[in-house]
Structure 1
C-alpha cells in the first residue's frame, strides 16, 4: 500500500493548535520524525502520519482529544506498534496518539491481587513488577516482551496460556478512558461487579474506536509451584488436530495447548534449538501447571490421551530450563519465518476445535490453489489459528495472492462456524472479511455502539467496521456457494 501525500497546510494548522496546549516535545510533525509510526506489525500497509503526539499524562491526552474534536481531525491510538492487523495504521489527515510515555506502574496490591498500570506499560513488565509477591499477569502474547497493556486491551490479546487463564477481557477489572468529548469515564470496577451495563466487555477489543485508555486495573494470579510441558509428535496433521479435541473431551484444561506443523517446526528448530521433533508432521505442546502432585497427575492423563489419539512420540520437560526452551520455539515462530521466506503474512482466525483437522486440510489445498507455502502455528486448545503465509514482496503479484489466500482461510473459518479473528483484531487487514461474517443489521448495530461513544466518528475511523459501500464492492468480487453476500445492497 503506497503512501499518499499529506496536506502541509493542514498539518501546520493542526500542529500549531496542538503545540499551543502541549509541550514542544510532545508533538512530532516533521516527516523524518513521524516515519517510524507509518505502520504497525502489518508492514505491508503504510501511511506517513500527518502528526504524532506523545502525551505524558492524562491531561495531555484530553488536550489532544479536544484539539482534534474542535478541528475535526481523525485520531489513531497507538501502543507499541506490534499489532498485526493494521489497527494502528495512520490516517492521511489524522493524528496518531502514542501512549508510549504513559508507562508507569501505579500500584501493585498483593493482597487484592491487582495491579494498576498506565497503557504504555509492557505486558511482561507487569509480571516482572509483581514477581516478588509470587504473582504474575497471565495473558502472554508472543510479543509480550514489547507489546503494551493498552494495545492488549484494544485487541483483546491472548497468548499461549489463554486456554486456562483467559484472554485480556477475563483478566482486566477496570479501565479508565478518555472520550472524544474530552471527559474521563471508568468502566468496570475493582469489586466483583460494577453497576449498570457491562461496558467493560464492550470496550475491550474495540480497537481504539471508542476511547483512549489512560489506566488499567488487571488481575494477578499466583505463580504455579511447578509446570511441565509435553511435546507430542504426530505423523499426520489431521491426527494431531483430532488429538487436540481428544484432550479437551477428556475433561483436561491444560495451561497451554499449542500446535505446530512440520514446516513451522523445521523453520523454528535451527533458529531456537528448542529440541523439537523435526521428523514429525505436527507437534503438540501441552502444559500442566499447579502443585507437583497436580502436575504429575495431569501429565500422566494427557500422555494417555495423546497416545490413544495417535501420538508417535512423547517427550516431557524435565527442568524449568527445558520447559522454557520448548516454549521459546513456539514464541519465536514468527521471527523464524524470516529464515525461509523474504516475507510472511500472519493470519488470525478462530474455529471450533473439532474442525481443526478439516481446516488444516483445507489450508493444504489452498497452498496448491494460490501457489504459496503456509506454515501453521496456533493456539490449538482455543481453535485460534495463526497461519503464516510465505511470499516474496519483490515478486509481482505475490502479496496480492497472499492477501487472497488469507481471505480464503478466513472465509473457511466462518464456513465451519468460527470467526475471522481471535486476538489480532480486524483493523484494516480483515475489514473486507467482516462483510463475509456479518450481515447489514449486525454491522449497523456495531456502528450504533461506536456512535454512542464517538458521535463525530473521529476515533480510528474506517477500521474494523466496514461501510455498506465497502461490503457492496467486496460482494461484487466474492461469490460463496453461488451466492453473493449482502444481496440487498446496491451493486455498482
Structure 2
C-alpha cells in the first residue's frame, strides 16, 4: 500500500523546502511563486491540474542527487518531469511536493557513428537526436507524435512508441543503458553499452516506471541507419470493419511494415482541412502502410501490401512517389490531435492496446458507445500493434460532459481488457488510468508492483499515488462501478 504523505502544504513548510533547495541550486533554479509554478500545474492531460509547492530546476547530475537527498531527508514528495507532453497525468504535481524538472540537462554528450549509439541527457528532445545523427546517415527510431517537443527522459519514463514502433520497437528496445539517481541520491547505472548486462534486467523494469523508481540523468540510445528509400501506401475503405480486418491480413501475410496506422472518417475529416494531405474524406477508414529499406525491397513489399489491401476490400490505393509526398501522407496522422480542435472545444485522448484480430469488433463497439454517452469519438491509432488512440470529443463548458467523457474512456479500456488487451500502450497509467488498473490486475499482482516500488523507494516519495492503485482505491472503484447489475469487486469489503 502507498505510504501516506507525511506533510501537508503550509507556507512554513514551503519556506523550509525553498531555503533548503536554494542552498543546492543556482539562482533562478528554485521556483515557488504562483506565477512561476503555474506552467508546471499539469502535463498534456490538462483536465487535471495542481499547483506544485516548489519547482526545482537542477542543471547537472550532482544537483539532481542533492535535491533528491534533501527531499528524502525532509520527507517531501517528488514528481519528476520532462517536457510535460505526457497524456496520462504522470507529471501532475502534488500540492505539498516538489516538481523536479530535468529540462536543463539537455546536452548530447556523445554520438558514435561506429557503434551507432548516442549518449544524451534526459532533457534532450527526441527529434534532436535524429537531427544530430543525420550527417552520419543514422537516426533514433522511436517517434512519438510529440517528438518535436518530448524529451528522452520522459520517453524512458513512459516507454514511448510512435508510428514506426511496429518494425523498430518501443523505447525499451532502443535504449542500451540508463544512468539514474535513487531517492537516496545514489547514482546507479542500469544496462550497458553491450547487448546484455550481468544480473537482473533492471533496465527493462525501470523503463516505463513513470518516475516512481528514480530520476534519469543519462541515456545511451541505439541509432539505426536511415533507409535508402521509404514509401507509404494510403488505402481507403468504405467500411471500418474491412479496414480493421485489412490490418490483420497484412500481418498475417508475413509483412512487417515500417508503419501501419489507421484513421476513421471522423479523424480524416477533421485533419484534411488542416494539413491538406489528400485524404479521402468520404472513406470510412484510411490505412497508412509504410515500407522502408533498399529500393528493391521497398518495391516488392509495396506490391505485396497493395495486393493484400485490394483483397481486403480497399476502394482506393495511392502510393507516395517521393519523400515530400510521403511526408504529406503522414502529416495528417501526426497532426491528428491538434486538428481535433477544429471540430470540438475539447478532446480526451485514450490509450489502450488490443490483439489485432479484434480491431474491427472494438471499433464497432466504440461506435455503439458514442450513442450511449452522447459524445463523438475520432479513432486514430497504431493499427499494426493494436495500440488505440480514441479521441473522445466533448465541451468542458457543458455541465457533465467531461464526466461522461471519462466514463466513455473507462469503458473503452475495459473493452480492451475484455478482448485480451491492456489499458495502455505508450501513454502510461499516471492518474488517468489508475482506476482501470483495478480491472486489469488482481490484488496479488498489484502487491508485486508495490514490492518493486518499495525496493527502490521505501518512503514512497517518488511520484506517489500514481500508476499503482491501492486496495482501498480499488474497493472504492468497485463500489462505484456497476456493470450488468453486478459489482465488479464483490469480494472486496464495502465501506
Q: TM-score range by the shorter chain?
A: over 0.9
1:19 corresponds to: 22
Whole-Å separation in 1 of the counterparts to 2:485 and 2:371: 22
2:103 corresponds to: 100
Residue among 467, 471, 478 paired with 2:474: 471
SS at match of 1:431: coil
CA deviation after TM superposition for structure 1 residue 6, in Å: 4.6
Deviation track 1:437-457 (CA, whole Å, cap 9, x = no partner) reads 011000000000000000100
Would you say the 8 A contact 1:372–1:389 is kept in 2?
yes
Deviation track 1:128-161 (CA, whole Å, cap 9, x = no partner) reads 0010100000000000000000000000000000
Matched, 1:118 2:103: no
Would you say the 8 A contact 2:479–2:489 is kept in 1?
no
Residue among 49, 69, 72 paired with 1:69: 72
SS at match of 2:422: coil
Residue among 40, 45, 54 paired with 2:43: 40
Matched, 1:386 2:389: yes
Matched, 1:277 2:280: yes
Would you say the 8 A contact 1:82–1:143 is kept in 2?
yes
Residue among 445, 448, 451 paired with 1:448: 451
Whole-Å separation in 1 of the counterparts to 2:207 and 2:244: 30
Q: How does 1:52-451 map to 2 (within 5 A)?
A: 52-451=55-454
Whole-Å separation in 1 of the counterparts to 2:102 and 2:271: 33
For structure 1, which runs of at least 5 residues remain unmatched after alignment?
none
Whole-Å separation in 1 of the counterparts to 2:419 and 2:284: 24
CA deviation after TM superposition for structure 1 residue 214, in Å: 0.2
For structure 2, which runs of at least 5 residues remain unmatched after alignment?
1-7
Deviation track 1:162-211 (CA, whole Å, cap 9, x = no partner) reads 00000000000000010001100000111111000000000000000000
Q: TM-score scaled by structure 1?
A: 0.98
CA deviation after TM superposition for structure 1 residue 485, in Å: 3.4
Moved over 2 A (4+): 479-489
Would you say the 8 A contact 1:350–1:421 is kept in 2?
yes
SS at match of 2:436: helix
Whole-Å separation in 2 of the counterparts to 1:25 and 1:424: 31
SS at match of 2:99: strand
Deviation track 1:198-233 (CA, whole Å, cap 9, x = no partner) reads 000000000000000000000000000001000000
CA deviation after TM superposition for structure 1 residue 55, in Å: 0.5
Whole-Å separation in 2 of the counterparts to 1:482 and 1:423: 33
Would you say the 8 A contact 1:237–1:357 is kept in 2?
yes
2:5 corresponds to: none
CA-based RMSD: 0.9
2:4 corresponds to: none
Greater Cα shift, 473-482 or 200-209: 473-482
Whole-Å separation in 2 of the counterparts to 1:488 and 1:281: 43
SS at match of 1:283: strand
Deviation track 1:418-448 (CA, whole Å, cap 9, x = no partner) reads 0000000000000000001011000000000
Would you say the 8 A contact 1:156–1:169 is kept in 2?
yes
SS at match of 2:79: strand
Would you say the 8 A contact 1:440–1:486 is kept in 2?
no
Deviation track 1:385-408 (CA, whole Å, cap 9, x = no partner) reads 000000000000000000000000
